[in-house]
Structure 1
């Protein structure tokens, strides 16, 4: 369980189900992630409820007995929020709120709420608001009957509630207006991308909280916001970077996550366009996370969805300073830590033998940065030479602490 230093967090419980498509181990991984999401949003988790079902109950997601157990627990312990690990249908949401009479959130609503908290620019706020309305529209019939008892808090940011009689028309009009607004901004951003000329574009991609922004700061010597929470960065940031004397553009993008809400994929189209139009992807992986292989698969799946999976890619395995191994010999009293894994040993693992060039680093401690910079330089140079085959002699690699980095932000 995550330790909470703050004392003003909302008390919440988590609910998930073991099904034919999701075994107990996988559910626990998702629940761990859901707890981190809840912590990021501002909740402290009091308890987890799980149940084995062939498939989620069509009426209340969990069985009636489990729903009653949850109802009694939240009432006895003063819990104000219940968070479900999967997206609830409008009827499930309505039935649960009628039955338990507390605030009910699902994973999608929770992620949207985090995005609402984290959006800083007008563009990001517009994207989030569109996603919230698209989520809200089919759920209007339920709009919390106990709303007068729930003032503010997680899941309550954003569009707000209106009378059912006019809700649908108002929200459809608002969605149309937001889409038109985003189209205008999309054209502006497309113009910005075109104005960058033929400079090679690279984009940092990866699961949320893998250290992309920390790496961005380290490479470009800039000050992009970075925090040990999910979705610390929403706004796309572009920096001009020079390694050796070879210039290129480096973009920091929003992190991906398993079960990414479809509303966000749609509303964050322009952010994802930065990935689509990049010449080179730098896929950052948190090697210290026990589910990093699933994270790689999730990112690759989203890249395939947006038709960016065939682009040249570099695999950057980050946080080697946080890596710890599990000892198979119980009699071995040596502490498991990254000190037992050298760079030479990392290079002998399957990660180093993937189809994409790979490097192992610590972005926080700038460990093995020379090798990473050299790899990025080599891959950017390949693309540069393909565009300008007659002037590659102008560039010669060198590695020192005086590499330039200037700022241009979207």
Structure 2
């Protein structure tokens, strides 16, 4: 993480670390930025502000090519050095992926700590993770990042020394020792994560025993997922105008218009160029998404880069194997319509009506609640498509059977017969159909 930038330093308000954010974006070639450079730079500033840095400079840099030694050209390196000195900045955040050599050379040239996009995101994740699993995943990702940079951190110690058993064998270099210690720690974390994953699997199996479908929220960071989650569940999950306000998955139960209960899951926000090590490290967390019955892709349609953000999310969903078979259960939620001008909002509504009804986006404002009733009805309709509706009768003395239905199926209606028994309409998951028919011989499809 950001070695010299201590927690105490960040907490002192006026003594926050002064930082310059540099956006070095290729202007041509296959690696050229596919989104608006100013919007990308604004996002980079938001990332830096998320760890409470005092931003004293924002510098966009158009690149024709990447220089192996310093990423930037010599002239730009010197120009930024003057800015860093004039602003008395102690840190420069480069919105790109730097090699260890590039990072070291820029630190020498600027006389300041340099952090790249991966290191910055890891720092944010390290501050925000609250659960044991989240903390382990962040540490694992950070160790993988740190391991690749040992050559930068330990060049002054690259000398041979004798081993002391647990410290390393004869002739082992300091770098080899530290790399081995990191690898051992990574193996222990992976073992701990396997245990957590098994526990999560047991919890998931327990939930499967109860017929509550899972609805997962996904989307670009700061798209408004947590605000939507809070509005629907009346919970108080941290929801701020801040990148990566939510890292740990949260589950709450909500009721749909006709009384059916579902589990709503809030997940970590996605971001462009998410470090590969974080995608793999958080795969267990994102399993909740892969197993969801309905996936709500929440978009901030008031953001100037909304389309590019949506493509980034779709790319990560594809990496998780959620394209093709899952498309029928993904609903785009166009959020923050309260931030649109009336003319643009009307254009959005017209655009939405042009979609096929099954793929039509839902226009909502999680902040004001507008459109949420329609969204819940849409979720209910989607879930109903995969479930079986049955009509059945229960004798008056079968109170246990009635309780079982309420616990393991959606009871859509109940009518009391003259003899005190009940006539019910229920909806069940396909995998429970045979069990219901065994218990209730009168059960018929409607």
Instruction: State TM-score, norm by structure 1.
Output: 0.82
Say if 1:144 and 1:94 are closer, same or farther in 2 by CA, change over 3 A: farther
Aligned to 1:326: none
Aligned to 1:349: 351
8 A contact 1:313–1:357 mirrored in 2: no
Aligned to 2:330: 313
Aligned to 2:19: 12
Output the CA distance in 1 between the equivalents of 2:59 and 2:241: 26
8 A contact 2:253–2:262 mirrored in 1: yes
Correspondences of 1:8-407 after superposition (within 5 Å) = 8-19=15-26, 20=28, 21-22=31-32, 26-143=36-153, 164=175, 166-197=177-208, 198-243=211-256, 244-310=258-324, 311=326, 312-323=329-340, 337-338=341-342, 340=343, 346-350=348-352, 353=355, 356-385=359-388, 394-395=411-412
Output the CA distance in 2 between the equivalents of 1:185 and 1:257: 25
Output the CA distance in 1 between the equivalents of 2:353 and 2:152: 48
> How many residue pairs end up in the alignment?
360
Cα distance, 1:207 vs. partner? 0.5
Could you list the per-position Cα deviations for residues 169-228 of structure 1 after superposition, in whole angstroms to 9, with x for gaps in the alignment? 111111111111101101111111111114311100111111111111111122211111
Output the CA distance in 2 between the equivalents of 1:105 and 1:124: 22
Output the CA distance in 2 between the equivalents of 1:145 and 1:27: 36
8 A contact 1:218–1:363 mirrored in 2: yes
Say if 1:145 and 1:7 are closer, same or farther in 2 by CA, change over 3 A: farther
Say if 1:69 and 1:347 are closer, same or farther in 2 by CA, change over 3 A: closer
Larger Cα-atom Rg: 2
**SS of 1:395 mapped into structure 2:** strand
Query: Which structure ranks higher in relative contact order (CA pairs < 8 Å, sequence separation ≥ 6)?
Result: 1
Output the CA distance in 1 between the equivalents of 2:315 and 2:205: 27
8 A contact 1:346–1:352 mirrored in 2: no
Say if 1:53 and 1:120 are closer, same or farther in 2 by CA, change over 3 A: same
Could you list the per-position Cα deviations for residues 87-116 of structure 1 after superposition, in whole angstroms to 9, with x for gaps in the alignment? 101221122223323110001111110111
Output the CA distance in 2 between the equivalents of 1:281 and 1:245: 20
Output the CA distance in 2 between the equivalents of 1:389 and 1:65: 74
Output the CA distance in 1 between the equivalents of 2:79 and 2:227: 43
Output the CA distance in 1 between the equivalents of 2:301 and 2:353: 10
Large movers: runs of 4+ above 4 Å = 388-393
**SS of 2:212 mapped into structure 1:** coil
Further displaced range: 113-122 or 71-80: 71-80
Could you list the per-position Cα deviations for residues 283-326 of structure 1 after superposition, in whole angstroms to 9, with x for gaps in the alignment? 11111111111111111110001101231111111111112xxx
Cα distance, 1:81 vs. partner? 0.6
8 A contact 1:204–1:283 mirrored in 2: yes
Say if 1:23 and 1:368 are closer, same or farther in 2 by CA, change over 3 A: closer
Say if 1:98 and 1:285 are closer, same or farther in 2 by CA, change over 3 A: same
Say if 1:232 and 1:145 are closer, same or farther in 2 by CA, change over 3 A: farther
Gaps of 5+ in 2: 1-12, 157-173, 393-408, 414-446
Say if 1:308 and 1:35 are closer, same or farther in 2 by CA, change over 3 A: same
Instruction: State TM-score, norm by structure 2.
Output: 0.75
8 A contact 1:17–1:56 mirrored in 2: no
Output the CA distance in 2 between the equivalents of 1:255 and 1:129: 18
